[in-house]
Chains A and B, each alone.
Chain A
Amino acid sequence: ETGVTQSPTHLIKTRGQQVTLRCSSQSGHNTVSWYQQALGQGPQFIFQYYREEENGRGNFPPRFSGLQFPNYSSELNVNALELDDSALYLCASSTGDRWDEQYFGPGTRLTVT
C-alpha cells in the first residue's frame, strides 16, 4: 500500500510569485484535503476535493485554488504569494467516508521572501 506523497519537500518563492504543490493520494482513496500549518499552530483547512470536484472550502482567499485528477492526485496552486503564506502545506487523503481518518503526507515547506 503506497502512502501519501507530496512534492516538493521544500520551496522558496518571492512575494508576488505563483506556486504549485503536488500530492499523490494513498491507493484506494478518492478524497483529498489540503491544510496550511503556520509555525507553532495547528493545521488550518484550505479545501477538499472528492472525485475531482471541490467538496468544501475553508476561510482562504480565491488565490488559493486546487485541482484533483482522475487518478485522485491533486494540486494546490497559490497565486500572488504573500509573506504570510509561508507555512507547511499538508495534503491528506481518505476514502470519503465521513468518519474515516485522513492520512497525511510529509508536507511541503513553503518559504516566501
Chain B
Amino acid sequence: AQKITQTQPGMFVQEKEAVTLDCTYDTSDPSYGLFWYKQPSSGEMIFLIYQGSYDQQNATEGRYSLNFQKARKSANLVISASQLGDSAMYFCAMKGVSSYKLIFGSGTRLLVRP
C-alpha cells in the first residue's frame, strides 16, 4: 500500500523568508514519483515540482525545491523568499510504478504574513 503523511496542518511564515513543508511517504514500489501541488482558495490544483525516485539530484523549479531523502522516505518542499501569493494549501502526492493514480496527503495550509 502507498501512503503520504503531512504532519503540519498549518504553517506561518514571514514574507521573504524560506519555509519547509514536510512530507513522508511509504511504498513498496521499487520506482515511484513524488509531486507537490498548490491549491489556492479557488480550488484548482497547481503542479509545482516533481521528483523521481531514481533522480540523483534534488528537483528545483524557481523558488521551489524538493529536499528528497530516500532512506528516510521524506520529500519536503522548500519555498524560498515567500510571497503573499504563496498563501494556500499544499499537497504532497506520489505515484508508484505499479499504479496509475496519485495518492495525496492531507495537506498543509501555509499563511504568509506581511
**Chain A, residue nearest B45 (CB):** A104
Given A56-B99, A99-B33, A99-B95: A42 in contact with B105 (beta carbons within 8 A): yes
| Residues of A in contact, count (CB < 8 Å) | 24
A94–B44 CA distance with the chains assembled, in angstroms: 15
A33 CB contacts on chain B under 8 angstroms: 100-102
Asked if B97 is at the interface (CB within 8 A of a chain A CB), the reply is yes
Interface range, B side: 20 to 34
Q: Interface residues of A: mostly helix, strand, loop or mixed?
A: strand
What are 22 contact pairs spanning A and B, CB under 8 A? A33-B102, A35-B102, A41-B107, A42-B104, A42-B105, A42-B107, A43-B91, A43-B102, A43-B104, A44-B104, A45-B102, A45-B103, A56-B99, A88-B43, A92-B45, A98-B97, A98-B100, A99-B95, A102-B102, A104-B46, A104-B47, A107-B44
